A and B are shown apart, each in its own frame.
Chain A
Amino acid sequence: MLRSEQKPFEEILGYLEGENMVFILGCDGCAQASQTGGLPQVLEMKGRLEREGKKITGYKVVDFLCQKALVASALRPLEDRVMESDSVLVLCCGVGIQTSAAMILKPVHPGCNTINLGGSRGEWRGSERCMECGDCLLDYTGGICPLAACSKGLRNGACGGASNGRCEVSPEKPCGWELIYARLKETGRLDMLKKFVPPKAWNKMRPTPEMLSTSVWALEQGDGSIQEGIE
């Protein structure tokens, strides 16, 4: 699983500046287990944003937001409400934020940071990759992770080495920043390219011993039954 934590509320409010109609997406997979994006957290976020004067156009907690197919089938009945919104706030890991951004033609804001577990195990992943950097940048980059999509992991823009949209380092893949440009253009957010992303706190990318200890940390936080052997 991927472990996430909610971003500070002030940071989320900053992302939503100038936007009134917000749709909230949660995930009943790892985010539910992390208690960052399950139904209780989505409802709590709805209440907090409403107290700040935002109109919540709707919300949905999807089983496995990391799966594009599930995102699409879960949101289709709610399409009108999603599309009347100014933006979508996603309470999930970096993978779910990126699949949402890939499936929804609206600005998508990250509501969580993904914490590094020292390597991920065993989820079904699509093409989206989350580097578990602990300080999600997806708001700057249209929901495409620059650490994962750019070979050099550059945060402020392309290196200039691409040819015909292909990466100079690995020509078999597209230039991540050209993808980011296209996405920002598509969602009317090209101004984000002018925002300076300050130096990153890489120490947030180092897993704590607690995170390294097990991949089923969230389950172990429950009644402990998973630790019991079979006698």
Chain B
Amino acid sequence: MSLREALDSGRFAITTEVGPLKGTDTSEILEVAEILSGKVDGVNVTDQQSAVMRLGSLATCAILVEKGLDPVFQITCRDRNRIALQSDLLSASVLGIKSVLVISGDFPTLGDHIDAKDVYDLDSEQLIWTINRMNEGYDLAGNELQGKTDLLIGAVVKPVSDTEESFELQLAMMEKKISVGARFFQTQAVYDVDAFEQFMRRAEQFRVPVLAGVIPLKSAGMARYMNKNVSGVFVPESMIADMAKAKDKTAKGLQVTARLINDLKDLCRGIHMMAIGWEKKVPEILELANLA
């Protein structure tokens, strides 16, 4: 199973993600890789998520390749300049990594090394443009590569916004990202299906696969926390109430997530499940959603 194949064939694509730990212990990643093997089309590996320093996305992707999975190398613009970014993309290619997801990256002050210098030498659009050039055999400066990359370029979009400005900017940037080389999108977590449908009505014209972001709900508290603190996440009150009154929160969370996936299924080309600690439950959720 590979992400490119799923997208090319038009089959409903399923990706999920893993976050490396702080340190050299890879046992958790190996265990998750084992469980996900053969169950998903792609596995994103986060890149110093939330600006917290951890084991690298590149090395973790290489481990996943070895385990027979198709990793999506997440690469942020926050920590590396154009020299390091391009070098890591060449490294990814020789390590058998086929897909990359470009993000700007949370600001250092939101993480655990708040005094770090932020880089943003390139922004997301410029990095996508650069990778597209590398796929054509040239680096950013126009020099010819001895062996070009062949990376499937993904980008992110926030489908639900709290201001008109933000919503319109997201669509404009989606169009710009496509114009410079983005070939698929993974979205911020969606809970409000109607709002997502409104977004897709506008985004459909771009004819680029969109994988809707899904974060399984674990509790009403988690939903309220995200509503308050995570930009672009809006969990409807009815869903929060559903979670609050459940006796078995885990069972309810899995059930709510499966239902959500079913509601989203006809609106997009796939889902991207960010399980945040529930990585091992991903196959169970897919079964509940009849996607296994």
Contacts and interface: CB of A to CB of B under 8 A. Distances in A.
B173 A156 contact: yes
B169 A177 contact: yes
B166 A193 contact: no
Given A153-B120, A158-B173, A202-B121, A169 B163 contact: no
A17 B163 CA distance: 32
B176 A158 contact: no
Interface string B160-198: 001101101110110110011000000010000000000
Given A168-B231, A194-B179, A157 B173 contact: yes
Interface residues of A, number: 32
Contact of A175 (B106, B123, B166): B166
Interface stretch (B8-16, B67-75, B91-99, B125-133): B125-133
A102 interface: no
Query: Which size bracket describes the interface of B in this complex?
Result: 35 or more
B110 interface: yes
B156 A151 contact: no
A190 B173 CA distance: 12
A148 to B, nearest CB: 14
Contact of B170 (A156, A160, A168): A160
B109 interface: yes
Secondary structure at chain A's binding surface: helix, strand, loop or mixed? loop
B158 interface: yes
Contacts of B6: none
A165 B124 CA distance: 20
Given A154-B123, A160-B156, A178-B169, A165 B106 contact: no
Nearest to B127: A199
Contact of A169 (B107, B122, B140): B107
B224 interface: no
Interface string A202-217: 1000000000000000
Contacts of A182: 165
B232 interface: yes
B169 A159 contact: no
Contacts of B109: 169
Contacts of B179: 194, 196
B115 to A, nearest CB: 14
A193 B177 CA distance: 11
A177 B175 CA distance: 16
14 contacts: A152-B118, A152-B120, A156-B123, A157-B125, A160-B157, A175-B166, A181-B168, A193-B172, A193-B173, A196-B125, A197-B125, A198-B126, A199-B126, A199-B140
Interface of A: 151-165, 168-169, 175, 177-178, 181-182, 190, 193-200, 202
